[in-house]
Structure 1
Amino acid sequence: MTERDRQDVKVLQIRQAAKTLFLRHGFERVSTASLAKEAGVSKETLYSRYPSKEAVLADVLEHLVSAGRADAGAVESLRDRADLDGALRRLARELSDELMQREYIELARIVIAETPRLPHVGETFRASVPGRAFRATTELLLAGQRAGLVADVDPTAAARMFVGPLVVHALLNVLLVAPREGAPPAPRMDVDAHVDLFLTAISRERS
């Protein structure tokens, strides 16, 4: 979506209504009519912002996990190992924090439940959430290679190695754990140890 869309009051209303209804009823049981009613907009207004209910779901997911937060300037200005180290740690912390959000996990449950009947829902989730994380990581690694900081490795495979453990941690510690009243918060991943190991694997030591 464009910056103008992000500031559009109607878009904000629709996004919030969609999140509320999807979490309450699941994806399939929410009609565009009920979504428009909850958002306080007409169906015409809804369709002028989103071509389909799937597009609304994609937007909700994208705003729960925004792995591409690091701006392009930060990526392009990599000069040394410290810049790369800092960029990877920021990216890992942002992604880890957002993957551990209870709202995101509950939407992930909905997507998993709906995918056998509606494969496109799973495809939307994969493209909107993990896909963004992989793209952001790949772009950062390519910038590192241009700066001579990252070894001649396959950036796509390396991005999977970086993002995968963060996703698995959320899967094992939040998604597969039933929420209980008064339960302690899920353990946080040791992001610094993860980034240290990753840097050891992909860095090109400069003489």
Structure 2
Amino acid sequence: MDKKVSARSQRTREQIRAAAQRLFLESGFMGTSTDAIMAEAGVASKETLYRHYANKEALFVDVLEHMTLEQARPAAVLADLPVPRDAPSLRLGLTIVAREILSVMVQPEYLALLRIIMAESPRFPHLGRLFKDAVPQRGLSIMTLLLQQAREQQVVDEVDKDAVSHALLGGLLTYALLDVFFVGQPAQPELLERADAVVEVIMRAVLPH
């Protein structure tokens, strides 16, 4: 019986969170009321809502934590990339990472999440760190590891790996922001080819001359 109650409670919590996520992405934190969340989730009483979340702020934090973890999963898979033992394998590894990161960055859900973080981070300072750790920091860590491995294999010159990784990520972020985020246009398939071009610029900078 306890297991059934626990499972039902978990389903209700997930139902509330999913409804809140839809509304937060659509209207932002301030534009979403608890009454609207209850109606969207099919929850009959505020008592039920507050049994799972102390207030709207707690629900908002849970939604963002859930979303950032969802966004982190594709990047986490990249941790299994093989060690780059020559220039072509390094180029391939960086290209896979760059394309994955850019494809995540231009997803409507990611951009909507970014808008909310930018608007609400003064109220919830820790959300900025949470957001950074989800995709950007994981991407930086993977790129830095690939460059470190490539240096150990004497594929690249001695370089500032942190600066190179940030330069690569910055190039991708520029395309996501300028071409999609600020103009509000959907990402075009050829946008991912820009990731390849950014990687090629980086390769020319790190390979022995």
Partner of 2:7: none
Structure 2 residue 181 is matched with structure 1 residue 178: no
Report the counterpart of residue 64 of structure 1 in structure 2: 71
Where do 5+ consecutive residues of structure 1 fail to align?
A: 1-8
Which protein shows a greater Rg?
2
Identity %: 30
Q: Distance in 1 between matches of 2:95 and 2:196?
A: 7
Distance 1:156 1:200 in 2: 17
Q: How many pairs does the alignment contain? A: 187
Question: Structure 1 residues 53 and 103, CA, compared in 2 at 3 Å: closer, same or farther?
Answer: closer
Task: Report 1:38-187 matches (<5 A).
Answer: 38=41, 54-64=61-71, 66-72=74-80, 74-75=81-82, 77-178=83-184, 185=188
Counterpart contact for 1:58–1:128, Cα < 8 Å: no
Residues in 1 aligned to 2:62 and 2:187: alpha-carbon distance in whole angstroms? 35
Say whether the 8 Å CA contact 2:105–2:111 is kept in structure 1.
yes
Q: Which runs of 5+ in 2 are unaligned?
A: 1-9
1:147-189 residue CA offsets vs partner (Å, 9 max, x unmatched): 211221121111101110101111111111135xxx7848615
The range that moved more, 147-156 or 16-25, is: 16-25
Q: Name the Cα RMSD after superposition.
A: 3.5
Higher helix share: 2
1:57 and 1:86 map into 2 onto residues whose CA distance is 32
For 2:97 and 2:129, the matched residues in 1 are separated by: 24
Task: State whether residues 21 and 63 of structure 2, in contact with CA within 8 Å, keep that contact through their aligned partners in structure 1.
Answer: no
Evaluate the alpha carbon distance shift between residue 200 and residue 185 of structure 1 in structure 2; reply closer, same or farther with a 3 A threshold.
closer
For residue 127 of structure 1, what is the amino acid of its counterpart? D
TM-score normalised by L of structure 1: 0.72
Asked if 1:204 is matched to 2:198, the reply is no
- Indicate how the Cα distance of structure 1 residues 199 and 18 shifts in structure 2: closer, same or farther if over 3 A, else same: farther
Query: TM-score normalized by structure 2?
Result: 0.71
Partners of 2:156 and 2:109 in 1: how far apart? 35
In structure 2, the CA distance between the partners of 1:187 and 1:25, relative to structure 1 (3 Å rule), is: same
